[in-house]
């Protein structure tokens, strides 16, 4: 896929897919993974991100990562795009990227840096080495202060840097970056549906989704409203989805770490939709029974909601 075609895909909803594990959590179930990806494809999804945070990247082995990406590519339509997560050491990221390319990936997404000690110049070199090592597109994933506006600006003019997934809830900084970064890149809102209207107004042409794994029609309806600049409808769909998204942001019981519910809530949503979600791997835990009950109600509310504009009589 050409870089321009890839950018066009990224101006939409990017589905950060889950990784389904066996009931004991030991194995990745690739047949179920393919079935889940096909369901999104059939609903109209056009861009898939396996091995992201929703896919529990850091709980996977390198072999599992490569096989997960390969299974996703095999499952979805050839016209769709697959953007696969890489991270870790420079050598690990490049090795994974090379194996992903052999499998036919359209782009890689460089995961947010996970290192105790960082230097901004060293971080710039880290990204440059990965970018220069691949022929496919590259998406930069910003999830904190480490990937600065200056680094994004430096990297944005590389031919194969196609997009930034901006997953920081700072609309002021995002707006400034869109205006100041010189490269011809796509800005994607990486904090999902609740913030999609606000980020769209400031220059986000797409957004990523986790709950789209099990309610793809709703997330695509939100994207349609944003493209039409139908802000009232966009806010309506956002409000329908907000309770489930708020649940994902919670800590769960007996825990101080934010958003621990994020992935287990998506996997439980898959089960509610009649698909296979399966368990999470440590350091995550399953939803509490109380949170499962809330998820069931929120899912039912989404299913019953009117998402499309009502037809008017001539």
Residues 188-227 pLDDT 10s:
999 999 999 999 999 999 999 999 999 999 999 999 999 9
What the block records as the tokens of 79 is 């016209």
CA distance 31 to 63: 16
Helix (H, G, I), strand (E, B) or coil at 307: coil
CB 263 within 8 A of CB 233: no
Nearest to 216 by CA among 307, 141, 85: 307
For helices 216-227 and 231-249, what crossing angle results, to 10°? 140
Which pTM was predicted?
Answer: 0.95
Domain ranges across the chain: 3-233
Provide the pLDDT for residue 306. Answer: 84
Nearest to 166 by CA among 199, 198, 142: 142
Q: For the chain, which residues score pLDDT lower than 50?
A: 311-314
What the block records as the tokens of 23 is 């009931």
Element (H, E) at 3: helix 3-10
Provide the pLDDT for residue 309. Answer: 62
CA distance 208 to 96: 22
CA distance 6 to 1: 6
CATH architecture classification, 3-233: Alpha-Beta Barrel (3.20)
Q: What is the DSSP letter of 57?
A: G
Provide the pLDDT for residue 310. Answer: 57
What sign does the dihedral 214-269-57-207 (CA atoms) show?
positive
Number of Cβ atoms within 10 Å of the Cβ of 63: 10
What the block records as the tokens of 130 is 């990965």
């Amino acid at each position: 896929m050409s870089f321009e075609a890839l950018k066009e895909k990224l101006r939409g909803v990017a589905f950060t897919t889950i990784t389904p594990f066996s009931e004991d959590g030991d194995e990745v179930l690739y047949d179920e993974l393919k079935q889940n990806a096909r369901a999104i494809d059939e609903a109209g999804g056009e861009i898939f991100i396996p091995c992201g945070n929703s896919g529990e990247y850091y709980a996977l082995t390198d072999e599992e990562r490569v096989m997960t990406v390969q299974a996703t590519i095999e499952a979805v339509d050839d016209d769709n795009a697959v953007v696969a997560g890489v991270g870790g050491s420079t050598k690990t990221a490049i090795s994974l990227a090379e194996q992903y390319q052999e499998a036919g990936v359209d782009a890689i997404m460089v995961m947010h840096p996970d290192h105790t000690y960082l230097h901004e110049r060293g971080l710039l070199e880290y990204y440059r080495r990965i970018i220069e090592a691949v022929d496919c597109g590259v998406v930069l994933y910003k999830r904190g202060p480490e990937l600065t506006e200056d680094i994004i600006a430096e990297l944005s003019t590389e031919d194969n840097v196609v997009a930034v997934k901006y997953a920081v809830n700072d609309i002021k900084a995002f707006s400034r970056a869109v205006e100041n970064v010189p490269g011809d890149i796509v800005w994607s809102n990486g904090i999902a549906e609740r913030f999609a209207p606000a980020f769209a107004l400031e220059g986000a042409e797409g957004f990523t989704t986790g709950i789209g794994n099990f309610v793809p029609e709703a997330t695509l309806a939100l994207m349609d409203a944003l493209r039409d600049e139908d802000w009232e409808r966009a806010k309506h769909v956002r409000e329908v989805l907000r309770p489930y998204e708020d649940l994902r942001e919670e800590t769960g019981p007996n825990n101080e770490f934010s958003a621990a519910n994020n992935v287990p809530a998506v996997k439980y949503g898959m089960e509610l939709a009649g698909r296979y979600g399966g368990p999470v791997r440590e350091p995550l835990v399953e939803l509490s029974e109380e949170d499962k009950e809330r998820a069931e109600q929120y899912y039912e509310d989404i299913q019953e909601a009117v998402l499309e504009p009502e037809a008017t009589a001539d």
